[in-house]
Amino acid sequence: MKAFVVRPFGKKQDINFDDVHKYLISPALAALDIQGSTTEVFLEAGNIRADMFQQLLVADIVIADISIHNANVFYELGVRHALQPMRTFLLRANVRKPVHERTAEDDVPFDLKTDRYLAYDADKPADLLAEDRQIGALKLGIAADRVTITPIAEVFAK
């Protein structure tokens, strides 16, 4: 089984996304014997977008981290939603700001509010593995042959 991971890179808004990948996403995939990563693995010359589109189309599962408002993540998630109706798994870091200090940037975008996502602690992403929630959620989603039914698939299913 192959996965493709859609996420921000580096440290942004006090979240180290490389650490989240290293300590949460990669170990969860390894525990389920799922291969895959981000676009970082495409080192050869050429158009990285073509590789990205290919992975969004053929990956058995896509894991997307929607913790921050990142245009690339939302763009790639939209492409996945258009290409594949199932097996898209969303992650999101818990918001740390007090409620009265939060802005629209701290909330899930309107179009994704009805989607389920698994929340993690950005300071201790590996703690979610200790709870076995991510691995269990991935197993259930794969076994049920769906993780998320995309908004586009829902419209055409009616």
Over residues 116-144, the mean pLDDT reads 70
- Domains along the chain with CATH numbers: 2-157 (3.40.50.10140)
Tens digits of per-residue pLDDT, 21-43?
998 888 888 888 888 877 666 55
Tens digits of per-residue pLDDT, 54-70?
888 888 889 999 999 99
Tell me what pLDDT residue 100 has. 79
Q: Is the pLDDT of residue 16 over 60?
A: yes
Using DSSP bridges, classify how beta strands 11-12 and 15-16 pair: parallel, antiparallel or unpaired.
antiparallel
| Torsion sign, CA atoms 140, 144, 145, 150 | negative
pLDDT, the chain, mean: 78
pTM of the model: 0.78
Q: What angle do CA 154, 91, 7 make, to 5 degrees?
A: 100
